[in-house]
């Protein structure tokens, strides 16, 4: 029995694998990063592009160039900053929204989103601590967006992240289109 490398597998197997990753990517992150390098075309076509489209779709189609409040709420809204013991110092960020999608979880480390959100959290609200605008020890990005003192900075941080997603989508689609046009030129 001979084993084939991943890029030598038939398209049907690759398509089935990438389709299964829609719900199982959390357990296959290393493998997916590896496949992004060695099987880039199929990885982009059958997985990455679809996953980014899913993130950027707010019910009326994929938002390629615009960033709406609905998109920001969908992608970032449930992310929570924690302030233990009622202090005004942020102690952590739980990425309930951004961490639930493959493309957003992959871009979190390299994005300014987390730094910008933490910067907002460290700022004071004109002498008012965050505990006075929340019901407990945490505040969501949606709640921050309703706070006039922080709305613009939070929107800007979220918008930068959405622009990264949109850029990734365009680059992936361009790569796939290039490979497919090259294939048709050389097919007889």
In this prediction, residue 153 has a pLDDT band, given cuts at 50, 70 and 90, of: confident
Is residue 122, in this structure, part of any structural domain at all? yes
What is d(CA 111, CA 2) in angstroms, rounded to the nearest whole number?
A: 42
Half-sphere exposure for 50 (CA within 13 Å, toward CB): 13
Structure tokens, 118: 């933490």
Residue 86 confidence class, pLDDT cut points 50, 70, 90: low
Residue at 1 is within a domain: no
In a domain, 100, yes or no: yes
- If pLDDT is split at 50, 70 and 90, which confidence band does 19 have? very high
Give the pLDDT score at 108. Answer: 84
pTM for the model: 0.81
pLDDT for residue 134 is more than 70: no
Residue 187 within any structural domain of the chain: yes
- Tell me whether residue 120 is in a domain: yes
**Domain span at 153:** 8-188
CB of 75 closer than 8 Å to CB of 55 = yes
Q: What are phi and psi of 138, to 5 degrees?
A: -140, 160
Output the average pLDDT for the chain.
82
Out of 38-52, 74-88, 150-164, give the one with best mean pLDDT.
38-52
Q: Is 47 a member of any domain?
A: yes
Q: Do the domain assignments include residue 92?
A: yes
CA angle 125, 126, 130 (to 5 degrees): 25
Domain-located, residue 2: no
| Residue 28 pLDDT | 94
Compute the average pLDDT of residues 148-175.
90
Q: Could you read off the pLDDT of 162-179 as tens digits, one per residue? A: 999 999 999 999 999 999
Question: How many domains are contained in the chain?
Answer: 1
pLDDT value of position 124: 44
- Where is pLDDT greater, at 120 or 40? 40
What percentage of residues in the chain have a pLDDT greater than 90?
40
Backbone angles phi, psi at 93, to 5 degrees: -130, 125
Q: What is the mean pLDDT of residues 127-145?
A: 68
Asked if residue 116 lies in contact with residue 72, where contact means CB atoms within 8 angstroms, the answer is no
Binning pLDDT at 50, 70 and 90, where does residue 87 land? low
CB atoms within 10 A of CB 35: 21
Quote the tokens at residue 13.
């197997």
More confident call, 2 vs 8: 8
């Amino acid at each position: 029995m001979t084993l084939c490398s991943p890029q030598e597998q038939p398209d049907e197997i690759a398509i089935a694998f990438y389709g299964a990753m829609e719900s199982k990517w959390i357990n296959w992150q290393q493998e997916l990063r590896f496949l992004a390098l060695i099987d880039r075309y199929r990885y982009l076509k059958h997985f990455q592009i679809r996953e980014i489209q899913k993130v950027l779709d707010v019910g009326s189609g994929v938002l390629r160039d615009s960033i709406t409040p609905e998109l920001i709420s969908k992608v970032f809204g449930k992310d929570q900053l924690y302030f233990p013991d009622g202090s005004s110092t942020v102690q952590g960020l739980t990425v309930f929204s951004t961490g639930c999608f493959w493309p957003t979880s992959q871009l979190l480390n390299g994005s300014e989103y987390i730094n910008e959100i933490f910067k907002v959290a460290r700022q004071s609200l004109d002498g008012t601590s965050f505990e006075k605008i929340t019901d407990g020890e945490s505040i969501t990005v949606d709640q921050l967006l309703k706070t006039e003192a922080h709305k613009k900075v939070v929107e800007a941080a979220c918008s930068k992240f959405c622009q990264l997603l949109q850029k990734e989508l365009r680059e992936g689609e361009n790569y796939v289109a290039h490979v497919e046009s090259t294939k048709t030129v050389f097919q007889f």
